[in-house]
């Protein structure tokens, strides 16, 4: 996400603020593009016939639109509100909030280095924008993989950047879960099941893993990690340990995995 914006591209989702609601459409400003003006024709407000545009948007409202057309010479930007679903809107607004936060944190980094913001962007900010597409992802990487981040960049700014990131950004986290069904017909079957679950917990090797009962013989395994790949590897270790222990004791184990 560039610091200085020209015009958006067709198909891009943009954050807008409604400035005027008319009978024939809505005028908005594009928050990330130097407050350039865009227009949403009434036919792009919602599917079906729109009797009253005010039922869908109001002045001062922040929303997300899809770019339908751009004429940079005339300064015209045509937008669609109906082409953006609720999930896309929530994700795009959150991304916009994250980038606003990252911009403020970048100002702190520049201040800590005793340099002005423009020089900081010239020195390393624009490089981070190119590498990550946005400053927030750069700050997140500095928290989730500080060793890798430090190896990728050099300069006095790196430590200042990491320090600000560690103080203000929560490490990214994803969750995956699985349900495991354990059965044993041995007289001490309960003990064997508990032993298999303990083996799974031990295989987690200190990672964030929760194993809870959801009604015998089913147990829920919840893994939290920095990314899905890491979470998947942890889940494999845990479930493999449970299955191995259970089958070694003459029982049965069935694992069903799903993302959360």
Expressed in angstroms, the distance from the first to the final Cα of the chain is 28
* CA–CA separation, 37 and 137 (whole Å): 28
Percent of residues in the chain assigned helix, strand, coil, to nearest 5: 45, 25, 30
In contact, 17 and 62? CB cutoff 8 Å? yes
How far is residue 11's CA from residue 6's CA, in Å, rounded to a whole number?
A: 15
Alpha carbon 132 to its chain's center: 14
Residue 188 neighbours by CB under 8 Å, 6+ apart:
none
pLDDT level of residue 53 (50, 70, 90 thresholds): very high
Please, which pLDDT band fits residue 108 given cuts at 50, 70 and 90? very high
Q: Are 196 and 251 in contact (CB under 8 A)?
A: yes
Lowest average pLDDT, out of 1-10, 82-91, 98-107, 182-191, goes to 1-10
Q: Which residues contact 149 (CB under 8 A, 6 or more apart)?
A: 138, 141, 142, 158, 162
> How far is Cα 84 from Cα 102, in angstroms, rounded to an integer?
25
Q: How do beta strands 36-41 and 25-30 pair?
A: antiparallel
* Antiparallel, parallel or unpaired: β 218-225 and 25-30: unpaired
12-40 per-position pLDDT tens digit: 999 999 999 999 999 999 999 988 999 99
Residue 4 has pLDDT above 80, yes or no: no
What's the mean pLDDT in 93-104? 95
Q: Which residue has the higher pLDDT, 7 or 172?
A: 7
Give the integer Cα–Cα distance in Å for 115 and 131.
Answer: 22
Mean pLDDT of the chain: 92
pLDDT over 90 (residue 215): no
Q: For 113-137, what is each residue's pLDDT tens digit?
A: 999 999 999 999 999 999 998 999 9
**What domains, with CATH codes, occur in the chain?**
13-84 (2.40.50.140), 88-168 (1.10.150.190), 174-259 (3.30.70.1130)
């Amino acid at each position: 996400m560039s610091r200085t914006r020209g015009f958006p591209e067709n198909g891009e989702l943009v954050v807008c603020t409604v400035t005027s609601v008319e009978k024939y459409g809505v005028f908005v400003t594009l928050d990330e593009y130097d407050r350039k003006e865009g227009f949403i024709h009434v036919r792009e407000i919602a599917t079906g016939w729109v009797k009253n545009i005010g039922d869908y948007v109001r002045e001062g409202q922040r929303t997300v639109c899809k770019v339908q057309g751009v004429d940079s010479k005339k300064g015209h930007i045509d937008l669609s509100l109906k082409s953006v679903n609720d999930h896309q809107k929530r994700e795009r607004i959150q991304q916009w909030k994250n980038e606003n936060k990252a911009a403020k944190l970048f100002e702190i980094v520049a201040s800590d280095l005793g340099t002005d913001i423009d020089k900081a962007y010239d020195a390393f900010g624009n490089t981070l924008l190119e590498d990550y597409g946005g400053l927030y992802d750069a700050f997140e990487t500095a928290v989730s993989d500080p060793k890798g981040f430090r190896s990728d960049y050099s300069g006095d700014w790196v430590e200042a950047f990491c320090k600000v990131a560690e103080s203000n950004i929560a490490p990214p986290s994803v969750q995956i879960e699985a349900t495991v069904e354990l059965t044993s017909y041995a007289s001490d079957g309960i003990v064997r099941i508990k032993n298999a679950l303990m083996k799974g917990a031990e295989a987690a090797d200190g990672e964030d893993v929760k194993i809870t009962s959801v009604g015998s013989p089913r147990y829920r395994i919840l893994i939290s990690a920095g990314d899905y790949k890491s979470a998947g590897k942890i889940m494999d270790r845990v479930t493999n340990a449970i299955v191995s222990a259970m089958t070694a004791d003459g029982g049965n184990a069935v694992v069903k995995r799903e993302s959360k």
